[in-house]
Amino acid sequence: MGNIRIDGRIVEYAVAQDDAEASAAAEPPPKEESKADSKDKPKVIRMHEKLERPEMLIGSTYKVKTPVSDHAMYVTINDIVLNEGTEHEKRRPFEIFINSKNLDHYQWIVALTRIMSAVFRKGGDVAFLVDELKAVFDPRGGYFQPGGMYMPSIIAELGHIVERHLRSIGLLNPVGPSEEQQKFIDEKRAEFEARNSQRDAFAESSYPNGAQLCGKCSVVAAVMLDGCLTCLNCGYSKCG
């Protein structure tokens, strides 16, 4: 960026971002139309605070039932589709709402959803929210989801929902064991189940009875195989 001579009053500013792609978005939004470098490039609309909310947004609602509350929570994330019909089409989260009959958490829910929506509308990288939320733990203790995953708090569960949503709209890459790893996991699982064929009929988890909590993926799926703790969910093994 070269030097810019300032002739008039500064009436607006935006924080510069080091990401090259985001540099265009850092310009003041109202001037987007008259951008000098838009001679042959098509105008790409990016997420910014001044983007007006369209009349209609598409969204997804996730139901969250935790053992720490009698009532379910419904988390709705609405998305905005930018540059629809062009090669720059991108779906981005625009706002988040949480509904629950449980009013114990009302004030923090309102505060959290307003702040998260504001972060969504600012644009840029919003995936950091996932890690921040997932790292929150409840000092009274967490709980296990029916699938066997350990949730250190309701907020962390919210982080998992936002993560799932961002993956579903393509803002985060899907992660999971690679094909090779999955094959290894399946083999190990078959081996373990063949050895320990007796299972608890009431076990909620889809992993073998007696599985331990995996330190890497927080799922109760780690089993002892050949003296080595191996996770049947993510493939993590203590012995490398």
Residues contributing to the site for Zn ion (CB under 5 A):
214, 216-217, 231, 233-234, 236
How near is the Cβ of 233 to Zn ion at its closest, in Å?
5
Q: Are 119 and 95 in contact (CB under 8 A)?
A: no
d(CA 93, CA 147): 26
Cβ of 34: how many Cβ atoms within 10 Å? 7
Task: Give the sheet arrangement for strand 90-100, strand by strand.
Answer: 58-64, 73-82, 90-100
Q: Among residues 26 and 149, whose Cβ is nearest to Zn ion?
A: 149
Q: Which is nearer to Zn ion, 78 or 233 (CB)?
A: 233
Q: Nearer to Zn ion by C-beta: 183 or 216?
A: 216
CB 75 within 8 A of CB 109: no
- What does the DSSP 8-state code read for residue 237? B
State the nearest-atom distance from the C-beta of 234 to Zn ion, in Å.
Answer: 3
- Of residues 109 and 219, the one with the C-beta less far from Zn ion: 219
Rounded least distance, CB 220 to Zn ion, Å: 9
Gyration radius from the chain CA atoms: 23
**Least Å from the CB of residue 194 to Zn ion:** 21
- CB-nearer residue toward Zn ion: 53 or 238: 238
Annotate 50-92 with DSSP letters as a single string.
Answer: TPPPPS--EEEEEEE--TT-SS-EEEEEEEEEESTTSTT-EEE
List the one residue out of 237, 205, 188 whose CA is nearest residue 196.
188
Closer to Zn ion by Cβ: residue 96 or 156? 156
Residue (12 or 186) nearer to Zn ion, CB: 186
Tell me how far, at minimum, the Cβ of 231 lies from Zn ion, in Å. 3
Residue 187: CA atoms inside 13 Å, Cβ hemisphere, count? 7
**Shortest Cβ distance from residue 149 to Zn ion (Å)?**
10
> At its nearest, how many Å lie between Zn ion and the CB of residue 232?
8
3-state secondary structure of 163: helix
Q: Residue 151, SS3? A: strand
